Structure 1
């Protein structure tokens, strides 16, 4: 299933609101974990402030940070050029649930930069399987399919700011990013190794028009349970 950004943000906000009126978490199990991906192709390295305090510093384009632990609740998140206090290019409020993992992606070109907030599925993956979430974060790329070279389409018709998740047999794949519904390959990704019982996030980044289209593959978690910190 392909999920648009608006739906994700609404889910995160509603989940946080529901917590306020429901049962409280057990003491010691109330932390959320948050990480950031810099996917804005023309933005400089950035610092990320949480409630005004530095949380991630000097994050470069295509870089995933480690997870940072935060107690559940509401936070203000701001993004500024690395080493500076202004301009604030992203200013957003996040609601975090306990015992949840989140990825905040700074995407689009600098003039239109915005956050895409995803809740990470860092839980059980079956034996013999890998779970892959694909995120389309290339601002000038049309809708795309992700396919095995000479094989099946794994993700179809994913548009900018959308994502999709599926499980596949663990192994090494030669993958292709294609224009949706066609055999036209815009990016080849040979030798992608997906380990057993491991969750990944794959993100299309860069720009077609600038010749910088690429992909970032991040290991999210692995079983026996171990989160990529």
Structure 2
């Protein structure tokens, strides 16, 4: 659940940047998230995103607590929000090593009718991987945990995305029906655990520059 807070961080006429929170820690229960003392996400569950929320450019303290508590944060960090920028702040890792990862949702120029894709590896126990199509075409190579790929321009289609152990043909995840529409900006996140629960999977998220 997200908490709208435009009244806190969006005094006209300043143009805001945008931030969303993504809970990607597979063994961490629901959380509440505060930005400079203001509640921006309540009862955020594993695999849930908030909406993109407006932030005036500046520096913010980000505190993440187990839901319903405000005494001992499990994440205590700061976020520098730059002008005209969009961010996803991912809650990553196993609970005992939980950390934030700031993903800049940058929109690179694309040709009309094309789309942009990037990949973020957030599966704590999965080694270095390649991201491929079902025909073996490599989209992203040698991606480590918490690594963010470069942006890739891609043609719209209904793809089967595969995760393979880096440098091999061993497929550890096959994800059909990944619909990429034209003139959109996407991030694919790998979450969950390899050969454990919750299982490894991908989540394809539409980035702010798409709308």
Does TM, normalized by the shorter one, top 0.5?
A: yes
* Structure 1 segment 116-127 matched on structure 2, within 5 A: 116-122=101-107, 124-127=109-112
Structure 1 outlier segments of 4+, above 2 Å: 27-30, 122-126
User: How do 1:196-215 residues align onto structure 2 when only pairs under 5 Å count?
Assistant: 196-211=182-197, 212-215=199-202
Query: Which residue does 1:130 correspond to in 2?
Result: 115
**Counterpart in the other structure of 1:191:** 177
1:27-38 to structure 2, matched below 5 A, reads: 28-38=13-23
Q: Secondary structure at the match of 1:216?
A: strand
Which moved further from structure 2: 146-155 or 114-123?
A: 114-123
Q: Which residue of 1 aligns with 2:136?
A: 151
How many angstroms does 1:126 deviate by?
Answer: 2.2
Equivalent pair of 1:125/1:199 in contact (CA under 8 Å): no
Q: What's the CA shift for 1:222? A: 5.9
Instruction: Give the secondary-structure state (helix, strand or coil) at the position aligned to 2:207.
Output: strand
Q: Helix, strand or coil for the counterpart of 2:152?
A: strand
Distance in structure 2 (CA, Å) of the matches to 1:50 and 1:220: 21
Q: Secondary structure at the match of 2:142?
A: strand
CA contact (8 A) 2:33 2:64 kept: yes
Quick check: 1:175–1:189 contact (8 Å CA) kept in 2? yes
Query: C-alpha offsets along residues 159-190 of structure 1, whole Å, 9 cap, x if unaligned?
Result: 00101121111111111100000000000011
Mapped to 2, the partners of 1:125 and 1:29 lie a distance apart of 28
Q: How does 1:95-174 map to 2 (within 5 A)?
A: 95-122=80-107, 124-164=109-149, 165-174=151-160
Q: TM-score, length-normalised on structure 2?
A: 0.89
Q: Give the 5 Å matches for 1:1-150.
A: 28-122=13-107, 124-150=109-135
Alpha-carbon distance between aligned partners in 2 of 1:42 and 1:185, rounded to the nearest angstrom: 24
**Most deviating of 214-223 and 76-85:** 214-223
CA apart distance, 1:68: 0.9
Report the CA distance between 1:51 and its aligned residue: 1.0
Runs of at least 5 residues in structure 1 that lack an aligned partner in the other structure = 1-26
1:45-99 CA distance string (max 9 Å, x none) = 1111011220111111111110111111111000001121133000001111122
- How far, CA to CA, are the matches of 1:151 and 1:222 in structure 2? 29
Q: Which residue number in structure 2 is paired with residue 176 of structure 1? A: 162
Measured on the aligned residues, the alpha-carbon RMSD in Å equals 1.5
Please, which runs of 5 or more residues in structure 2 have no aligned partner? Answer: 1-11
Q: 1:219: which partner in 2?
A: 206
